[in-house]
Amino acid sequence: MAVSGSFDFTLTRDTCIKEALQQLGVIGEGETPSSTTYTDCAVTMNLMLKSWQNKEVAKNLIRKFYVFLNDEQREYDLSTTVGSSAPSCFDFYADTTAADYTDGDTSLTVTTGTGATDADEIIIMPDSGAWDGSVGDVESGGGTTTLTIPDMNVTAESGKYYYTWSARVTRPVDIIYVNRCMLPTSIGEDKVLEYISTPCKILNQRDYASLAAKDTDGAATNVYYDPQWPTAQLYVWPEPSAIGEFLEIWGQFTIDDMDEASNNFALPSHWYYAVTMNLAKALLSKFGCSAETRKHIKEEAQNSLLEAEMGETEDYLQFQPDLRGRR
């Protein structure tokens, strides 16, 4: 038996729309929708995909990211505009200084410099107190042991840690798990760093609002995520006071817009049929079809979506109330 050995089938925006319209009987074999029909159906498609974000859809939309904690700062922005987010990233590099850094210096001598590239953002842990929020850019020297940076407004003796990363995090739809992570005890990419992490409790709005002393200093044990638009706020309690700590967070992120005809879905292939049939269902009110076809489309849409969602479940099962959405 000869098999293809190929696993790269992808579904584009317009191919999905065409298939949905054929399932509805709006177009026939070999026919192509008009440009206006493609545009109108794309609006419906995007509305449908965005509505699916009201629940946890696909595991690939859940990503781990990091937020760097600042001394006595309890509120951190996560915005749809990347530059407006607090210092955060999906991956970072941790290294140590190899010589003393003095406030005002524009050269930083480091142990390896391997993971720092030009234009990366950088923060340096100071000798005393916590990091004060000063963020700079690696202007040149990335990948070497001598980095050219702006004045970082800190003093750090040899052996102090610094972090570099390439881009900040955009606003997640929701957060699912949070760990407070202590200063690393090794150097390298985040995925190989040695550090101790402690789970944090995710509070709902009422829990956080009920805290009597929000300016309490200490090790962060609780977080509250307020998904405001376009800039959400992540609240941390108690306010951080240790040097170099950060949050390790798993969050559900926004599904990509389907803007162009050739755009692929930000979903794995076992979702393709569910997307197509549920698009057909969403288009029922725009196009006329027989009662029999309507019934078939609705059944296929429901069953395919259920199967796709079941394919995302994990073996771990726990029942507990989720009060975060209540007022």
d(Cα 251, Cα 60) in Å, to the nearest integer? 11
Tally of residues, the chain: 327
**φ, ψ (nearest 5 deg) of residue 224:** -135, 130
Mean of pLDDT over the chain: 93
Pairing of strands 201-203, 107-109: unpaired
Q: Does pLDDT of 46 surpass 70?
A: yes
| Mean pLDDT computed over 261-278 | 97
**pTM of this structure:** 0.90
What pLDDT band is residue 129 in, cutting at 50, 70 and 90? low
CA atoms within 13 A on the CB side of 273: 14
Q: pLDDT value at position 241?
A: 85
What are the sequence ranges of the domains in the chain?
A: 13-57+256-310, 61-252
Closest alpha carbon to 281 in 267, 271, 296, 266 = 296
For 143, which DSSP code? T
What pLDDT band is residue 243 in, cutting at 50, 70 and 90? confident
Closest alpha carbon to 125 in 242, 244, 245 = 244
- Partners of residue 235 on adjacent β-strands: 75, 224
d(Cα 119, Cα 149) in Å, to the nearest integer? 10
d(Cα 58, Cα 310) in Å, to the nearest integer? 10
Cis peptide before 199 (omega within 30 of 0): no
**φ, ψ (nearest 5 deg) of residue 44:** -60, -40
Pull the structure tokens for residue 320. 């507990």
What pLDDT band is residue 327 in, cutting at 50, 70 and 90? very low
What pLDDT band is residue 133 in, cutting at 50, 70 and 90? confident
Contacts (Cβ under 8 Å, ≥6 apart) of 76: 67, 70, 86, 88, 233, 234, 235, 236
